[in-house]
């Protein structure tokens, strides 16, 4: 059961009044109503597993709020941002982010925030799995060892990016233009694509991604997250980026 205080906290101030309106109706189903998408070219991808599948690392309540409210909200606002621009509606989220500076100025901020949010989260769900965790295998395992010295040193560097990101953002493993792996972080919903980097994997360090379970203990969340990393998918993305 998602209680009123938790729902309002995770929605934030901008959606608080809408949450109250839904909550007052005893027959309302809060999450589908608040997460409903506007018509448009972009759609909310379904989770590839049940809400509870990543527990205890990530609890079912957090997954439902994160996917059905936050990600759905990015999709809805991205569709609204491009609704008056038919040419933008034909572009992929990746294209929109990579071409951000050439978009009409009046939509750049909305596309940056919501296109980035849609793109980042679409990856996030896929690089986690209830059968995840452990050590990487395949090409990504060898590349991490070559670049960082060992898997443990990579994890430490990656977690360090998540810890030092002030406020909301993401920790990333990326591939640069020289096909070299790097760890970095971005603020808010910014994508590494904006800096000419190819994201291979990313961990969401916005508070809504972990606060119900971990409260303000971001470092604990960062360490626990390795238990659900889907290395098969991460390796697939790495091999595609290297091709």
78, 103, 126 - which closes a domain: 126
Question: Are residues 98 and 147 located together in one domain of the fold?
Answer: no
Question: Are residues 178 and 229 located together in one domain of the fold?
Answer: yes
Could you give the C-alpha distances from 77 to 8, 43, 148, 169, 228, in angstroms and in order? 19, 11, 38, 19, 29
- Helices marked H in the chain — which ranges? 4-11, 13-24, 30-35, 60-65, 72-81, 86-89, 93-98, 105-110, 116-126, 139-148, 151-164, 211-214, 218-224, 231-242
76, 93, 126 - which closes a domain: 126
Q: Please indicate whether residue 29 or residue 119 has the higher confidence score (pLDDT).
A: 119
Question: Are residues 183 and 119 located together in one domain of the fold?
Answer: no
Question: Are residues 121 and 224 located together in one domain of the fold?
Answer: no
* Residue 133 within a domain: no
Residues 77-115 have pLDDT tens digits of 999 999 999 999 999 999 999 999 999 999 999 999 999
Name the pLDDT band for 14 (thresholds 50, 70, 90): very low
Q: Is the pLDDT of residue 218 over 80?
A: yes
Q: Which two tokens stand for residue 134?
A: 């452990």
* Residue 132 within a domain: no
Question: Are residues 196 and 174 located together in one domain of the fold?
Answer: yes
| CA pair distance 148, 182, nearest whole angstrom | 9
Look at residue 23 in the predicted model and tell me its pLDDT.
28
* Residue 80 within a domain: yes
Look at residue 38 in the predicted model and tell me its pLDDT.
55
Question: Are residues 104 and 159 located together in one domain of the fold?
Answer: no
Could you give the C-alpha distances from 195 to 64, 112, 168, 199, 217, in angstroms and in order? 31, 13, 18, 11, 29
Look at residue 8 in the predicted model and tell me its pLDDT.
47
Q: What is the CATH number of the domain that holds 159?
A: 3.55.40.20
Q: Please indicate whether residue 34 or residue 193 has the higher confidence score (pLDDT).
A: 193
- 149: alpha, beta or left, given left = phi > 0 and alpha = psi -120 to 50? left
| CA pair distance 21, 8, nearest whole angstrom | 12
HEC-encoded secondary structure of 90-152: CCCHHHHHHCHHHCCHHHHHHHHHHHHHHHHHHHHHHCECCCCCCCCCCHHHHHHHHHHCCHH
Domain housing 160 = 139-242
Look at residue 29 in the predicted model and tell me its pLDDT.
34
Question: Are residues 15 and 119 located together in one domain of the fold?
Answer: yes
Q: Please indicate whether residue 142 or residue 15 has the higher confidence score (pLDDT).
A: 142
Residues 27-86 have pLDDT tens digits of 233 444 344 455 899 999 999 999 999 999 999 999 999 999 999 999 999 999 999 999
Residues 6+ away with beta carbon under 8 Å from 189: 74, 112, 113, 114, 116, 117, 120, 170
Question: Are residues 118 and 199 located together in one domain of the fold?
Answer: no
pTM: 0.85
* Residue 134 within a domain: no
Domain count, the chain: 2
Look at residue 39 in the predicted model and tell me its pLDDT.
80
pLDDT more than 70, % of the chain: 84
Is the backbone peptide bond immediately before 25 cis, with ω within 30 degrees of 0? no
| CA pair distance 170, 192, nearest whole angstrom | 10
Q: Which two tokens stand for residue 86?
A: 């038919």
The residue assigned the tokens 């002030």 is 166
Question: Are residues 144 and 228 located together in one domain of the fold?
Answer: yes
Residue 128 burial by Cβ neighbours in a 10 Å radius (0-12, 13-18, 19+)? buried
Question: Are residues 9 and 122 located together in one domain of the fold?
Answer: yes
* Residue 131 within a domain: no
Q: What is the dihedral angle through the alpha carbons of 147, 152, 154, 156, rounded to the nearest 10 degrees? A: -140
Q: What is the CATH number of the domain that holds 46?
A: 1.10.287.990
Q: Is the pLDDT of residue 3 over 80?
A: no
Q: Please indicate whether residue 10 or residue 142 has the higher confidence score (pLDDT).
A: 142
Question: Are residues 215 and 144 located together in one domain of the fold?
Answer: yes
């Amino acid at each position: 059961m998602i209680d009123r205080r938790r729902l309002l906290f995770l929605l934030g101030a901008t959606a608080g009044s809408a949450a109250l309106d839904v909550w007052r109706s005893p027959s309302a189903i809060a999450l589908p109503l608040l997460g409903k998408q506007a018509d448009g070219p972009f759609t909310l991808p379904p989770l590839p597993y049940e809400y509870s599948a990543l527990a205890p690392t990530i609890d079912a309540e957090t997954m439902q709020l994160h996917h059905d409210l936050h990600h759905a909200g990015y999709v809805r606002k991205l569709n609204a941002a491009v609704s008056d621009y038919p040419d933008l509606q034909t572009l992929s989220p990746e294209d929109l982010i990579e071409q951000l500076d050439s978009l009409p100025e009046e939509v750049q901020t909305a596309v940056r925030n919501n296109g980035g949010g849609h793109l980042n989260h679409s990856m996030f769900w896929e690089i986690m799995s209830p059968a995840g965790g452990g050590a990487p295998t395949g090409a990504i395992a060898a590349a991490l060892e070559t670049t960082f010295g060992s898997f443990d040193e990579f994890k430490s560097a990656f977690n360090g990016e998540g810890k030092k990101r002030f406020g909301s953002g993401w920790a990333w493993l990326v591939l640069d233009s020289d096909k070299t792996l790097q760890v970095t972080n971005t603020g808010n919903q910014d994508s590494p694509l904006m800096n000419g980097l190819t994201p291979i994997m990313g961990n969401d360090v916005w508070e809504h991604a972990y606060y119900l379970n971990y409260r303000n203990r971001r470092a604990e969340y960062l360490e626990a997250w390795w238990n659900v990393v889907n290395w098969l998918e991460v390796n697939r993305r790495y091999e595609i980026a290297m091709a």
